[in-house]
Structure 1
Amino acid sequence: MSIYILSVLSVSTAIVFISTFFCKPVKEKMSHMVFVMAYSMCFGMAIGFYLGLIFQKDLLLATVASMWVSGLVGLLIGLKIHLHSMMEGFFSGLMAGMMGAMLSAMLSVNQAHFLIMISVLLTVGFGFLCSLHFLSNSFVNFIEKYFYLFLISCCITLFVVYVTFPASFLKAEDSLAKSTSKYSSHLNDEKQKKSGPNFKDEILVNWDININNNEYQSSQQELRKNVKVTLSLTNFDSIEHDIEISPFIFEPFNERIKTIASHQHGNNIEKQEHSILHLHTEPESTNKLTFVPKVSGTYQYYCTIPGHKELGMIGIIRISN
């Protein structure tokens, strides 16, 4: 994935940079500046999204690296044209790289992967347009004669990049989270149907939830009423997360863990005891809670950190009789 993206961006930038050596000075410098700005912004967004995922645990490093790489590319593109084009390309790339890296930190892997593909396609497309524009004065007759051939070549290149673009990103990160869940115990009482006030003391079910790239990855889809459950919340991200189910009637087993968290992310609201299951975890850590579900049904769990629920940190758990 990394080699593919860097290769496409490098080849596209090299073609645009070489074409600037054939660019003749014109009275209207604004047209050159617009093309330099457009390419610098496309490249900056692409490299920003990419480095934002590569260094997702260090937002400062991702932002600084994206700004300087894209700024340098914009500077080089405008180098042979004019001083104003150099400044336009440098600061356009700087701004686009910063926005791409910061936005990437707010997205899931799949969302960022989609934006990387779009920005890479835009970079390649504008690369063709920039090259034609910079070469138009020196090779005007040649370009006019073979203009449609250049246009078809651009479309074919975009199609090839789209078709061959990798379907996944950061597989190592995803496999790490999935491999961790393999060591958790799964529901082993699906064929057993027992009831009674003491049944919860006889069987313990593990419900493991891994948090990776602002996403819940749960090992359980269904639990049983009156069966003791140990919820293990593992946070692989570099920011804090939590899980809350409300309303949810249960009996807690850990006296030190309360149903209402000591920290509040929203408005302080008085809630009924044991009607809200809430578990918080710090970055790159694990926290556990043992409880017994008392009412069957389908429940939604979510992260109460502001903005995380809106980003898709939501899951469904079913409690059967």
Structure 2
Amino acid sequence: MEASVQVLLYLVFTYVCFTWFVWRKRSRIEPMIGMVSGMTLGMMVGLIAGLVVGVLFKGELAYSTMLGIAAGAFSGLVFGIPLSVLTMIEGALSGLMAGMMGAMLGEMVPYEQIEPLLFLFIMLCTFCIMLLTRHIAIITNEKGSSPKKFGWQHPLVGAMLLIGVFVWFQSFPAATVHQKQEIKQSVELVASDYFYHPQQIVLKKGEEVKVTYHNQGKLGHVVEIMSKGTIEVVPDASQHRHGHDSTSGEELHLFAEPGKSVSYVIRATTAGVYPFYCTIPGHKEKGMLGSLIVK
């Protein structure tokens, strides 16, 4: 099972368990405690879910933002239903903001920094949930005493859970939540007026891949990949020139007239992240840029 699915399943499991725990004790929970719990849960769900979908749908920020917002707001809203209207509002708004932030982080943060960030969020979520669980267990105890010595809300149980989450997360393969960006024998890059789709392309080092560049805009657009001489190119018969030789120099140039397409067979010899952008003046500044990721 890929890591993104494992993370989302853990998030759902944590949400269901904590929600069930709080709902059972709702008659003895003060309104402020319920609001804090709703805000915390909505924020953690929105942040983690938003980060995951932001990575899975890189280059589609509007779509990933909507998914992150929906996950965070819905989780906070549902949690507060049996508690109070204020808890519903606080949870939904916290989840909405966190989902938006998580999707933006998933879009902007480089792939190699996603795993440490996701690990930090998961550990923070687990710690906050365990802390709230223990606090609620203490204040709702019928006799007003501390939880049982060996109860599941005991601090040692929380510590063991944190250690378990740490070990589980370290078992992930080197490529985790971005595994959905699968390596393909062929890749299509679409340019319209002032944007590329997708903005991230993932290739495997040493494999030959056919790259087809479609210009669907009303203007001519260039794709210049800052390859540093590490990408070998065999141009296709449909190749067009734009004052450059795509096989010369250290950079790779692709050009297509409006409504036209060109194809190249390329082979990347060195792993890394190589930015690409449109070299026509003003186009890069308007958003025509992305990155080629070689594993």
Contact (CA 8 Å) 1:20, 1:81: kept in 2 or not? no
CA deviation vs aligned residue, 1:244-273 (integer Å, no higher than 9, x gap): 4799xxxxx988331399xxxxxxxxxxxx
Q: What is aligned with 1:128?
A: 130
Unaligned runs of 5+ in 2: 188-197, 214-221, 230-234, 267-272, 279-283
**Cα drift, residue 63 of structure 1:** 1.6
Q: What is aligned with 1:94?
A: 96
Secondary structure at the counterpart of residue 256 of structure 1: coil
Counterparts of 1:56-135 in structure 2 under 5 Å?
A: 56=58, 58-135=60-137
Counterpart pick for 1:156 among 136, 157, 160: 160
Q: Is 1:257 matched up with 2:231? A: no
Aligned partner letter, 1:87: I
- Larger of the two Rg values belongs to structure: 1
Unaligned runs of 5+ in 1: 182-210, 221-230, 248-252, 262-273, 291-299, 316-321
**Cα drift, residue 118 of structure 1:** 2.2
**Cα drift, residue 45 of structure 1:** 0.7
Identical pairs, percent: 21
Secondary structure at the counterpart of residue 303 of structure 1: strand
Contact (CA 8 Å) 1:260, 1:277: kept in 2 or not? no
Counterpart CA distance in 2 for 1:77 and 1:45 is: 16
Q: Is 1:279 matched up with 2:253? A: yes
Aligned length: 241
Contact (CA 8 Å) 1:257, 1:289: kept in 2 or not? no
Secondary structure at the counterpart of residue 259 of structure 1: coil
**Cα drift, residue 3 of structure 1:** 3.6
Q: Is 1:303 matched up with 2:288? A: no
Q: Residues 241 and 38 (structure 1 numbering): CA distance in 2 closer, same or farther, change over 3 Å? A: farther
Q: What is aligned with 1:11?
A: 13
**Cα drift, residue 138 of structure 1:** 1.7
Q: Residues 162 and 279 (structure 1 numbering): CA distance in 2 closer, same or farther, change over 3 Å? A: same
Q: Is 1:243 matched up with 2:233? A: no
Secondary structure at the counterpart of residue 136 of structure 1: helix
Counterpart CA distance in 2 for 1:83 and 1:301 is: 49
Counterpart CA distance in 2 for 1:11 and 1:246 is: 46
RMSD over aligned CA atoms reads 4.4
Counterpart CA distance in 2 for 1:280 and 1:242 is: 6
Counterpart CA distance in 1 for 2:154 and 2:199 is: 44
CA deviation vs aligned residue, 1:30-65 (integer Å, no higher than 9, x gap): 444233222321221111111223333543332212
**TM-score of the two chains, using structure 1 as the length reference:** 0.59
**TM-score of the two chains, using structure 2 as the length reference:** 0.63
